[in-house]
């Protein structure tokens, strides 16, 4: 099976078309710089101070998972999560953020449950309209794109899910001879407990998306930056959980003779953040004013 086959949703293809007109060398340089900026902006959108966000983004970019992530779409997805949260009370900006996240990572559409629960119909319409518009553009360029995704791309995804360096909780269950769906059931139970404890639904859904994702590599941890920022701001327990996750992420062994990298970083992140969304203080906030809501979260966490 050719693992170079595009395995992302067909709606994501139009987003990369403009880059096709740029020389690959220039394109790659631009993407690395843009990814670094995306990591920094993700933290800034979540009200991390500039003197912390920018140096920390540089440190992340120089780490082993960070260097691999800079040439991936994970920093962009993390930025879209932060934008969706920051713009959650604004139908157009929020809807575009949800839509682009869902277009680049189909499982991200689960996050639309947040505006659905809050009856933000305009936000949902913009998000769905964004996904459909991108899909129509993809179909215009390649009419068989959906059929190809359901055959060739699906086979590529299936092959990826059998790789030894796959780091999802489900993949570990499968290696231990346990059914993979058991990991999804556990994730749903954790999310339900967090919801019953009146934790913020947006971050519960964000964690759930990451926990049930069928594909995760050692550099996927970059996608968890928004949630780790929220956990850090929640208090001492959250800070301890983030530090444990960071230590696991940067202490992975790298085999110089292969591209396969095995790490427990992603697994530690899912477990630590799962504990965090249950035990840390992440209170629900109102939608009336995103800016004042963010300030309420900071005040409730006792941090600035």
How confident is the model over 155-201, as pLDDT tens digits? 666 666 666 667 788 777 887 888 888 989 999 999 999 999 999 99
The Cα angle at residue 183 between residues 103 and 238, in degrees rounded to 5: 80
Q: Tally the domains of the chain.
A: 1
What is the sign, positive or negative, of the torsion defined by CA atoms of 280, 65, 73, 36?
positive
Measured CA to CA, the distance from residue 225 to residue 83 in angstroms comes to 13
Half-sphere exposure of 302 (CA within 13 A, CB side): 8
- How confident is the model at residue 45, as a pLDDT? 95
pLDDT at 72 over 60: yes
What are the residue ranges of helices labelled H in the chain? Answer: 13-16, 24-45, 50-62, 64-69, 74-86, 91-104, 113-117, 121-141, 145-148, 154-160, 169-175, 181-196, 201-212, 225-233, 236-250, 265-279, 290-301
Measured CA to CA, the distance from residue 198 to residue 257 in angstroms comes to 48
Q: Which band of pLDDT confidence, cut at 50, 70 and 90, is reported for residue 10?
A: confident
Quick one: what percent of the chain has pLDDT higher than 90?
49
What are the residue ranges of helices labelled H in 161-235? Answer: 169-175, 181-196, 201-212, 225-233
35: helix, strand or coil = helix
Inside any domain, residue 2: no
Average pLDDT of the segment spanning 61-76? 89
pLDDT at 4 over 60: no
189: helix, strand or coil = helix
Beta carbons of 60 and 222 less than 8 angstroms apart: yes
Inside any domain, residue 236: yes
**CA distance between the termini of the chain:** 50
Inside any domain, residue 77: yes
Quick one: what percent of the chain has pLDDT higher than 70?
83
Inside any domain, residue 172: yes
Inside any domain, residue 295: yes
pLDDT at 104 over 80: yes
Write the pLDDT tens digit of every residue in 237-247: 999 999 999 99
Beta carbons of 124 and 117 less than 8 angstroms apart: no
Measured CA to CA, the distance from residue 78 to residue 290 in angstroms comes to 19
User: For residue 79, what are its two tokens?
Assistant: 């930025």
Inside any domain, residue 123: yes
Inside any domain, residue 175: yes
Q: What is the pTM of this model?
A: 0.85
Write the pLDDT tens digit of every residue in 20-37: 777 777 888 888 999 999
Exposure string (b/e) for 114-123, b if CB count within 10 Å is 16 or more?
Answer: bbeebebeeb
Tell me which residue of 211, 228, 249, 223 sits closest to 75, measured CA to CA.
223
Inside any domain, residue 186: yes
Residue numbers of the domain that contains 78: 10-301
13 burial type by CB count under 10 A (0-12 exposed, 13-18 middle, 19+ buried): buried
């Amino acid at each position: 099976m050719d693992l170079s086959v595009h395995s992302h949703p067909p709606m994501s293809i139009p987003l990369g078309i403009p880059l096709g007109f740029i020389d690959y060398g220039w394109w790659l340089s631009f993407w690395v710089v843009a990814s670094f900026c995306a990591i920094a902006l993700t933290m800034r959108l979540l009200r991390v101070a500039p003197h912390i966000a920018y140096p920390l983004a540089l440190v992340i970019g120089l780490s082993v998972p960070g260097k691999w992530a800079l040439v991936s779409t994970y920093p962009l997805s993390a930025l879209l999560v932060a934008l969706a949260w920051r713009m959650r009370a604004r139908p157009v900006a929020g809807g575009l953020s949800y839509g682009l996240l869902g277009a680049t990572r189909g499982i991200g559409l689960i996050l639309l449950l947040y505006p659905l629960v809050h009856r933000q119909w305009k936000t949902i319409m913009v998000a769905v309209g964004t996904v459909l518009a991108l899909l129509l553009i993809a179909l215009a360029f390649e009419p068989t794109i959906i059929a190809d995704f359901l055959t060739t791309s699906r086979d590529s995804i299936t092959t990826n899910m059998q790789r030894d360096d796959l780091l999802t909780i489900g993949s570990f269950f499968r290696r231990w001879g346990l059914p993979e769906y058991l990991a999804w059931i556990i994730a749903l139970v954790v999310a339900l407990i967090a919801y019953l404890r009146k934790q913020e639904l947006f971050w519960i859904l964000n964690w759930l998306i990451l926990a049930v994702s069928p594909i995760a590599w050692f550099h996927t941890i970059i996608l968890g930056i928004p949630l780790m920022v929220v956990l850090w701001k929640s208090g001492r327990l959250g800070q301890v959980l983030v530090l444990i996750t960071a230590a696991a992420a940067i202490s992975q062994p790298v085999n110089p003779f292969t591209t396969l990298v095995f790490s427990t970083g992603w697994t530690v992140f899912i477990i630590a953040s799962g504990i965090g969304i249950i035990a840390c203080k992440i209170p629900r906030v109102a939608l009336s004013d995103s800016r004042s809501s963010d300030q309420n979260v900071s005040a409730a966490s006792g941090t600035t």
